[in-house]
Amino acid sequence: MTSPASANDPQLALFRQTIASVAYRAAKALRGVPADFAEFKAGPKTRTPAQILAHLGDLFDWALSQAEGKETWHDSPAIDWQAGSARFFTALDKFDKYLASGAPVAVPFTRLFCGAIADAHAHIGQINILRGIAGCPVRAENYSRADIVPGRVGADQTPPKREF
């Protein structure tokens, strides 16, 4: 195990800011979708948004297991959109709380970033693209001005400051 990261560790602070960024962007992508969006198929071999959402939850269950030193992976089936969203934000919250606790993190932050975090950003982008194709686009935003706060990793986020 690596040593615990202190609350003043700049690497931990940046990492938790990145997790909050995942939450902010996901909250925007997941809210306000039509009832049939979860099963939307852009093509015969594409995942549905519900399948992508299940994968997002799996990513943060996996990240937590890595941080705890008990790496495990599960492929969860797609579930109802609201339940899937709740599952994702719960997994993200558990992961962030573990990091904030000062407990030892068993793998380098770079490994966690290159795995779950980077993949999550890509999949949130996929959901945004699928929303556009399905006719329920997400408004663009200047994310550098967004109120993204470490520890705020739930579905309830500050409203956008500037959309276009």
pLDDT digits (tens, 9 = 90+) for 85-121: 999 999 999 999 999 999 999 999 999 999 999 999 9
**Is 81 part of a structural domain of the chain?**
yes
**Is 97 part of a structural domain of the chain?**
yes
Provide the domain count of the chain. 1
pLDDT, residue 57, reads: 98
**Length of the chain in residues, anyone?**
164
Could you give the C-alpha distances from 20 to 33, 71, 121, 163, in angstroms and in order?
22, 22, 11, 19
In this prediction, residue 163 has a pLDDT band, given cuts at 50, 70 and 90, of very high
Average pLDDT along the chain: 95
Parent domain of 87: 10-145
Measured between alpha carbons, how far is 25 from 162 in angstroms, rounded to an integer? 14
* Backbone angles phi and psi of 4, in degrees to 5: -65, 145
**Is 104 part of a structural domain of the chain?**
yes
Q: Residue 115 maps to which CATH number? A: 1.20.120
**Is 15 part of a structural domain of the chain?**
yes
pLDDT, residue 2, reads: 56
